[in-house]
């Protein structure tokens, strides 16, 4: 289902475990900063809305989405229960968009395989700035909200897998 048919900010609060005992890391790319800050605000507020404590949310900044891989690897070492990787990649004139998107996708996938701390993919890969605006608090909602819900669910899964 395309995002256009599903608002990214909509979720059933009754299906979300309470996050009060979890620690979260959020790694934010500085490229397209107005977009990534919107994504961060959505994710941060959703974590708080579902019981997370401000003192249990750690933020790192990295220059661009490609550096999310290293930043998330370091965040995984912070005794957090889940990591959210936030970036905004927007198509330019060249194929660089393809390499950045593929690189960060593969890198975050690898981190989920190599370490037992889930890393949530909150990286917008848009053709235009308007598409990014629409998905970071605009008409299609906020992918940061979606990512925070995923982070809480995956932190819960990881905890259950040890019990």
Ligand X SMILES: Nc1c(NC[C@H](O)[C@H](O)[C@H](O)CO)[nH]c(=O)[nH]c1=O
CB of 162 to ligand X, least distance (A): 34
**Which parts of the chain fold into alpha helices (H)?**
33-49, 68-76, 96-114, 129-134, 143-160
- 29 forms part of the interface with ligand X (CB under 6 A): yes
**Residue 51 corresponds to which tokens in the numbers above?**
């019981």
Give the sign of the dihedral formed by CA 144, CA 147, CA 148, CA 149. positive
- H or E stretch covering 61: strand 57-62
Whichever of 13 and 95 has its CB closer to ligand LTPLIIQW, that residue is: 95
65 is known to lie in a ligand binding site? yes
- 67 forms part of the interface with ligand X (CB under 6 A): yes
**Looking at beta carbons, which residue is closest to ligand LTPLIIQW?**
92
Give the x/- contact pattern for ligand X in 126-145, rule: CB under 6 A: --------------------
- 125 forms part of the interface with ligand X (CB under 6 A): no
- 31 forms part of the interface with ligand X (CB under 6 A): yes
Alpha carbon dihedral 120, 5, 50, 108, in 10-degree steps, equals: 0
Question: How do strand 141-142 and strand 136-138 relate by DSSP bridges?
Answer: antiparallel
Q: Which of 91, 97, 96, 80 is nearest to 27 (CA)?
A: 80
- 66 forms part of the interface with ligand X (CB under 6 A): yes
Total residues contacting ligand X by CB under 6 A comes to: 13
How many other CB atoms are found less than 10 A from the CB of residue 9? 15
| 96 included as an active-site residue | yes
| Binding site as annotated, residues for 5-amino-6-(D-ribitylamino)uracil | 31, 65-67, 88-90, 121
Q: Which residues bind ligand X (CB under 6 A)?
A: 29, 31-32, 63-67, 87-90, 100
| Binding site as annotated, residues | 31, 65-67, 88-90, 93-94, 121, 135
Please identify every residue annotated as catalytic.
96
């Amino acid at each position: 289902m395309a995002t256009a048919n599903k608002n990214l900010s909509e979720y059933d609060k009754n299906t979300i475990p309470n996050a009060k005992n979890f620690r979260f890391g959020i790694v934010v790319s500085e490229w397209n900063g107005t977009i990534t800050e919107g994504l961060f605000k959505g994710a941060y507020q959703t974590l708080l809305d579902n019981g997370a404590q401000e003192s249990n949310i750690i933020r790192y900044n990295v220059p661009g989405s490609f550096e999310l891989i290293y930043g998330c690897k370091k965040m995984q070492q912070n005794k957090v229960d889940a990591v959210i990787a936030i970036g905004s990649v927007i198509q330019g004139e060249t194929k660089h968009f393809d390499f950045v998107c593929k690189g960060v996708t593969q890198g975050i996938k690898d981190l989920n395989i190599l370490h037992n701390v889930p890393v949530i993919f909150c990286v917008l890969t848009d053709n235009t700035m308007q598409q990014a605006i629409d998905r970071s608090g605009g008409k299609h909602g906020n992918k940061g909200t979606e990512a925070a819900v995923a982070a809480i669910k995956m932190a819960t899964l990881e905890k259950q897998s040890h019990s």
